Amino acid sequence: MTNTETALKEALASIEGATGAALVDYTSGMALGTIGGSKGFDLNVAAAGNTDVVRAKIRTMEHLGLKGEIEDILITLSDQYHLIRLMKGRGGNGLFLYLVLDAKRANLAMARHQLKRIEADLEV
Amino acid sequence: MAAEAEVLDELHRLRARVPQLTGALAASVDGLVLAQDTPGVEPEGLAALTAAALGVAVRMADATRQGDFRELLVRGEYGYVATYAAGPSVVLTLLAGDRANVGRLHLEGRRSGTRIGALVEAAAVEAQPTTAARLPAKPAVPRTRTARTARTTTEPTGESR
């Protein structure tokens, strides 16, 4: 079991190519914790914007009558990957982990696997 | 303050950008409406209540040494009322439903507050070109009022989200 701060630190330190991470409450759009980012990349802006992404997908799935749950969402930019992993269980409902990766350095399969493990260990 | 039209434009743009908003109001710190787009809510009452709440918020920030007033968030059963500083003499009050993205509300509210503050300031400078040199001497100490019983009823808008 890890807390938010440790989990975010671990994400940034152990996932190759990670440049920023956040734990976001998508019922409010606010970040519970952020790490990394830069002056030009405000993780609080990303948290609010990606809340809309997650909500839109959840709503679309409801409209389509899909019963499954979102595990993760991958957004591929020309030079970055953005990975959104929805948390489940242990009070993690309504939260997602958001990870920014440098596309040149990251191993997507490994990053996804590691983020899944960090999410499983995280207790909010 | 002759910036009403520009400020109203800004409020319309803000509401277009943030669809979860159910109302937006710019008011002077002493409770007068500057521009409003608040369907279903009486703007004069909201402006007066904003000024009253602002007075308490300013004093609370001051008493706990948190510096100047920046923003105030009230969450009700059916939604949010958020007030943001817009320069020294104006505040921006936004209404949003309970499913609103508060992170987004804060980002857009702060940005819009800054813009409205600049618009009002520019209009003030334009109105007094001869005295522009001594402009920053505007003492914007918000008056505190005793809370009125101006009752504004916010209907819960049936939001689809």
The mean of the pLDDT values for chain A is 94
User: Does B103 contact A47 at a Cβ distance shorter than 8 Å?
Assistant: yes
Confidence category of residue B128, pLDDT binned at 50, 70, 90? confident
**Number of Cβ atoms within 10 Å of the Cβ of B7:** 24
Chain A interface test: which of B73, B107, B111, B159 (most A C-beta within 10 Å): B107
Q: Which long-range contacts link B117-123 to residues 24+ away (Cβ below 8 Å)?
A: B117/B85, B117/B86, B117/B87, B117/B88, B117/B90, B118/B87, B119/B3, B119/B6, B119/B7, B119/B10, B120/B1, B120/B3, B120/B7, B120/B34, B120/B86, B120/B87, B120/B89, B120/B90, B121/B87, B122/B3, B123/B1, B123/B2, B123/B3, B123/B6
Residue of A nearest to B107 (CA): A45
User: Does A30 contact B102 at a Cβ distance shorter than 8 Å?
Assistant: yes
Q: A112 to chain B nearest CA, in Å?
A: 26
- pLDDT at residue B147 above 60? no
The Cα–Cα gap between A111 and B89 comes to 49
Phi, psi of A122, rounded to the nearest 5 degrees: -75, 130
Report yes or no: A96 and A85 within 8 Å, Cβ to Cβ. yes
Residue of B nearest to A56 (CA): B161
Confidence category of residue B80, pLDDT binned at 50, 70, 90? very high
Question: In degrees, to the nearest 5, what angle opens at C-alpha B25 toward C-alphas B19 and B30?
Answer: 160
Report yes or no: A108 and A81 within 8 Å, Cβ to Cβ. yes
- pLDDT at residue B134 above 60? no
Of the candidates A89, A84, A91, A95, which has an alpha carbon nearest to the alpha carbon of residue A32?
A: A95
Q: B124 to chain A nearest CA, in Å?
A: 32
pLDDT at B139: 52
Q: Would you say residue B144 lies in a domain? A: no
Q: Would you say residue B147 lies in a domain? A: no
- pLDDT at residue B104 above 70? yes
Q: Would you say residue B52 lies in a domain? A: yes
pLDDT at B160: 47
Give the type of residue at B155. E
**Number of Cβ atoms within 10 Å of the Cβ of A77:** 10
CATH number for the domain spanning B82: value is: 3.30.450.30
pLDDT at B36: 96
What does A47-87 look like in DSSP terms, one character per residue?
HHHHHHHHHHHHHHHHHHT------EEEEE-SSEEEEEEE-
- pLDDT at residue B117 above 60? yes
Coarse DSSP helix, strand, coil percentages of chain A, rounded to the nearest 5 percent: 40, 30, 30
For chain A positions 20-79, those within 8 Å of chain B (CB to CB) are: 24, 28-31, 44-45, 47-49, 51-52, 55, 59
SS3 B108: helix
pLDDT at B133: 52
User: Does A30 contact B103 at a Cβ distance shorter than 8 Å?
Assistant: yes
Please give the helix or strand (H or E) that residue B95 lies within, else none: strand B90-97
A13 Cβ contact partners less than 8 Å away, ≥ 6 residues apart? none
User: Does B105 contact A59 at a Cβ distance shorter than 8 Å?
Assistant: no
Number of structural domains, chain B?
1
CB pairs under 8 A between A and B: 32
Report yes or no: A113 and A12 within 8 Å, Cβ to Cβ. no
pLDDT tens column, A4-49: 999 999 999 999 999 999 999 999 999 999 999 998 999 999 999 9
The Cα–Cα gap between A28 and A59 comes to 16
